[in-house]
A and B are shown apart, each in its own frame.
Chain A
Amino acid sequence: MGSLEQPVHSTGHHGPATGITRWLYTTNHKDIGTLYLLFSLMMFFIGGCMALTIRAELFQPGLQLVRPEFFNQMTTSHGLIMVFGAVMPAFVGLANWLIPMMIGAPDMALPRMNNWSFWILPFAFTMMLSTLLMEGGGPNFGWTFYAPLSTTYAPPSVTFFIFAVHMMGISSIMGAINVIATILNMRTPGMKLMDMPLFVWTWLITAFLLIAVMPVLAGVVTMMLMDIHFGTSFFDAAGGGDPVLFQHVFWFFGHPEVYIMILPAFGVVSEIIPTFARKRLFGYTSMVYATASIAILSFIVWAHHMFAVGMPLAGELFFMYSTMLIAVPTGVKVFNWVATMYRGSMTFETPMLFALAFVVLFTIGGFSGLMLAIAPADFQYHDTYFVVAHFHYVLVPGSVFSIMAAAYYWLPKWTGHMYNESMGKLHFWLSFIGVNVTFFPMHFLGLAGMPRRIPDYALQFADFNMVATFGAFLFGFSQLLFVYNIISCIRSGKKATDNVWEGSHGLEWTLSSPPPYHSFTEPPVFKHPYKDNG
């Protein structure tokens, strides 16, 4: 790589600083993206160890390894860490790395605030994890922290959990504001909104969702704090409040939240499939509208998580039909991905394998979601392993696979080195088998009536649980290959070309590999990747 001079900057600073201060004080979108991704990887392993603790306990019926109280803390922390610590920061990391490079910007719109968004997270999660060591143990009420479990019956550490959630919210809101300001204001001249790569589009909509619902999460944990410590009765019927109110406010946040974790994944897959199918994305415009429709619908479906809790019939029906409506734009997306591959000149490098697995397995998760959306059927499935199977199918081979696909796809661009392709493929196949062996049997367990969040179970569930535990350990340990591959790619991978993939398209591939410290100091000339050639 050539000189890193930044002639446009009147303050006259140059390339990356050296030592630890580079990472502590950085205002660079690539450094911050790297920090987010590494943080997410770390949290993925911590949350993964918790998952393996859960699976190990469930290997056989009866209580073997952990006490039920600790088991509850593990299910709670596993969920919270994977959602807020692993998946969300990974996507913010990708956004940081990619959005400026994709839209031809020198950096994010508000670089100092960008640094602050990241550095709040390690402190928030230190506080969250420290609750596990506190008197009375850590949060044990499930990642959905329903009142009154999380209020009247919560351990004292819940106060720290509440403040940790506040910190994560502040971080997410600032990160999202930065993404929106960057996308709306920093595009290279000539790039209209409908010219943007789909990853940028999905993140624009995700950022909107984040700004809309993270404050609601802050509101609901604030009401919890007031109920626990200041004598209010928001969630206590004795004072005229209602525990179900908690669930309504929580899921008003929670449902858009699950799309926050999947929309950027749609964006990633929509970048990768055209590259390896060597065709442009089928139905770009419909992809944009489908993403926006999913986001809008996400605000009016929240109570489908609460069918069994008691709502007037009109409510059950409204939330049932509005939920099923989401299948339409989601179907548009799956159709478009498949149509993109139709008669494409396909090759199956690691990113493409993960993207293909995403399309198939996410769709399975979508279908089980459709089953859960049917209110009368949900009375049967509610709080069983069927639900666990459903959301792990959309989150693990959904969101997590897309993050891995993105890592393999852009790693050569970021580092300037190729990863080891055969090790990548091995990682994929082990993960693919591990995920399915873990989560597919859970459908059967749930349909047979095994409740979730239980450390012990009836004998008839033993076989499938044993299988699931084998799968979980296979999936968990295969991730070491991923880490090894990343490290060896950074240190000794063979040199990557600038466009890396034969079919790559978009502004980020016009930069050198690795790209200069500040992506585009001059706004690049924009050529439409979808519209110019046939």
Chain B
Amino acid sequence: MSTQAYYVPAQSRWPILASVSLFLIAYGAGTLINALSANTGGALGLSLLLVGALCMGLILTGWFGHVIDESRRGLYSDQMDRSFRWGMSWFIFSEIMFFAAFFGALFYVRNLSVPWLGGEGEKGVANMLWQGFEATWPLMKTPDMTAYPGPEGVIDPLHLPLVNTLLLLSSSVTMTFAHYRLKQDRRPQVIVWLVLTIALGSLFLVFQAVEYAEAYHELGLTLHAGIYGATFFILTGFHGMHVTLGMLMLLIILLRVIRGHFEPDHHFGFEAVSWYWHFVDVVWVGLFLFVYLL
């Protein structure tokens, strides 16, 4: 038990400002999406969304800046450090459960509902509604091809996805090297490994973009292409967003390392980002297996 008292921060303006921004983002996004679907122009929604996002960016910068400042002034005890660790661990657990919902949906359609639609199994009677429909995976021919024209092809897992798997896995390794060098206080090498991690992550995102373009323009694999496209894009899309967020976090800690932040024995901000980065890598392995390969 540390003798230092637990730091209870003074009043703070950040949370309420963040709530207002979150409201602007949500309300703006809702207005924008509804306007786009109704074809009524989305200027109002878009502006609210952008203003909200901009404010949120500024607020989070200020809020995290404040926390970094408090940490560097030595206000945080070991006990505070443990609170951050529990907080980050459970946050990552919540992210895992978010992906679990989409993986669950994928497993359910692949193993249960699509076979039933095709007339197999105990609920195969569903096929009476869509006679002639055959269950396959990847689902190339949807029950109603006019409403949801199925894809003409799917991504070959052994080309870009395999490369992307190698990229992300090696970025986990480079991240770990960066962490070890930080523990040895060899900053120039920390920077090199971090930059390499960011480069690998960026390359991954570029390849994902190339793959999406190929899916849309050459394979007819779109959001409209039935359940295969739906599960493909929701899983890879949310993963891509998480990689992007992880990249942002990596850039921030890179900047902090350059500015001389973090001690060899006290650098939870760095570790949290590294946990997060390993988490997006592990999710990718699940994606590579169940979305692309199997």
Contact = CB atoms under 8 A, between A and B. Distances in A.
Given A106-B8, A159-B34, A245-B108, A226 B223 contact: yes
Given A112-B9, A238-B144, A239-B227, A220 B19 contact: no
Contacts of A239: 142-144, 147-148, 224-227, 230
A244 B9 CA distance: 47
Contacts of A182: 83
B157 to A, nearest CB: 20
A516 B80 CA distance: 22
Most chain B CB within a 10 A radius of its CB, from A111, A229, A239:
A239
Interface in B1-48: 1, 5-16, 18-20, 22-23, 26-27, 29-30, 33-34, 36-38
A166 interface: yes
A163 B29 contact: yes
A9 B6 CA distance: 8
Given A239-B147, A241-B227, A216 B97 contact: yes
Given A25-B16, A123-B20, A11 B101 contact: no
A65 B227 CA distance: 43
A223 interface: yes
A240 B104 contact: no
Interface stretch (B119-127, B164-172, B190-198, B213-221): B119-127
Contacts of A156: 34, 37-38
A492 to B, nearest CB: 29
Nearest to A522: B5
B109 A238 contact: no
Given A9-B5, A211-B97, A215-B95, A241 B13 contact: no
Given A115-B15, A220-B101, A240 B226 contact: yes
A312 B125 CA distance: 12
B117 interface: yes
Nearest to B113: A242
A312 B222 CA distance: 32
Interface string A306-340: 00001111000000000000000000000000000
A76 B100 CA distance: 27
A181 B88 CA distance: 10
Contact of A234 (B13, B91, B105): B105
Contacts of A111: 8-9
Contacts of A17: 11
Chain B contact surface mostly? helix
A534 interface: no
B8 A240 contact: no
Nearest to B38: A156
A252 interface: yes
B127 to A, nearest CB: 11
B286 interface: no
Interface in B61-118: 63, 75, 79, 82-83, 86-87, 90-91, 93-95, 97-98, 100-102, 104-105, 108-109, 113-114, 117
A239 B87 CA distance: 40
A21 interface: yes
Most chain A CB within a 10 A radius of its CB, from B104, B105, B122:
B105
Interface stretch (A139-147, A184-192, A341-349, A437-445): A184-192
A232 B11 contact: no
Query: Interface size bucket, B side?
Result: 35 or more
B19 A119 contact: yes
Most chain B CB within a 10 A radius of its CB, from A11, A13, A178, A220:
A11
Contact of A312 (B13, B23, B121): B121
B122 A313 contact: yes
A11 B9 contact: yes
Nearest to A228: B37
Given A159-B34, A244-B113, A25 B13 contact: yes
B16 A189 contact: no
Contacts of A113: 15, 87
A3 interface: no
Interface residues of A, number: 89
B228 interface: yes
Contact of A310 (B37, B123, B223): B123
A222 B82 CA distance: 33
Nearest to A119: B19
A167 B23 CA distance: 8
B144 A115 contact: no
Given A112-B63, A159-B33, A214-B94, A120 B148 contact: no
B26 to A, nearest CB: 4
Contacts of B142: 233, 238-240
Interface of A: 6, 8-11, 13, 17, 21-22, 24-27, 105-107, 109-113, 115-116, 119-120, 122-124, 126-127, 156, 159-160, 162-164, 166-167, 170, 173, 176-178, 180-182, 184-186, 189, 211-216, 218-220, 222-223, 225-226, 228-234, 236-242, 244-245, 248-249, 252, 310-313, 518, 521, 523
Interface of B: 1, 5-16, 18-20, 22-23, 26-27, 29-30, 33-34, 36-38, 63, 75, 79, 82-83, 86-87, 90-91, 93-95, 97-98, 100-102, 104-105, 108-109, 113-114, 117, 121-123, 126, 129-130, 139, 142-144, 147-148, 222-231, 233-234
26 contacts: A9-B5, A24-B13, A27-B9, A106-B5, A106-B8, A113-B15, A115-B15, A116-B18, A123-B19, A127-B23, A162-B30, A163-B29, A181-B90, A182-B83, A185-B86, A215-B97, A216-B104, A219-B105, A229-B37, A231-B224, A233-B142, A237-B129, A238-B142, A240-B227, A245-B109, A311-B123
